[in-house]
Amino acid sequence: MCVLAAENPARCVRSERNGTIGVQSGWKVGGRGMPIRYLLEQSSFGPDEVKTIISGFDRLCARMQLVDRTDPLMEIVAKAVLTVARDGVRDPATIERRAMALLIGSWQEQARTGSERPLAKK
């Protein structure tokens, strides 16, 4: 069952990958919730910064058509967003663009070298 379905049924979506039902735009779907929140709990960002970072994360997930919050790719996307946010970026659109560029660059590097190097930690 989709959490908050009664309040806003449009936010409920079915994952094409595995058929699970989830909620768009960062709402928790039981369990641990979205990876960005888990990672933000371990950071020192303020409440306004957290809202901006989550907005950038949501924008990037929508752009990449990621719906299933339990997909391991979500954590990779969350780490890319946090890498950009740690550089001081506070605009959701800029966070989205730079995190996407970071992911593309990382994947291109992996394809070129054949390695599976995770995103660099800062």
Q: Identity (one letter) of the amino acid at 114?
A: G
Judged against a pLDDT cut of 80, whether residue 115 lies above it is answered with no
Which residue carries 């663009």 as its tokens?
Answer: 97
Where along the chain do its domains lie?
32-113
70 confidence band (pLDDT: 50, 70, 90): confident
Per the CB < 8 A criterion, the answer to whether 76 and 86 are in contact is no
| Phi, psi (degrees; rounded to nearest 5) at 45 | -75, 145
- Give tens-digit pLDDT for 74-98: 999 999 999 999 999 999 999 999 9
pLDDT the model gives residue 47: 93
| 1 against 44, higher pLDDT | 44
Judged against a pLDDT cut of 50, whether residue 5 lies above it is answered with no
Judged against a pLDDT cut of 70, whether residue 10 lies above it is answered with no
Which residue carries 């409440």 as its tokens?
Answer: 47
- Give tens-digit pLDDT for 45-63: 999 999 999 999 999 999 9
DSSP label of 122: -
Judged against a pLDDT cut of 70, whether residue 104 lies above it is answered with yes
Q: Output the pTM of the full model.
A: 0.67
Q: In whole angstroms, give the CA distance from residue 47 to residue 52.
A: 9
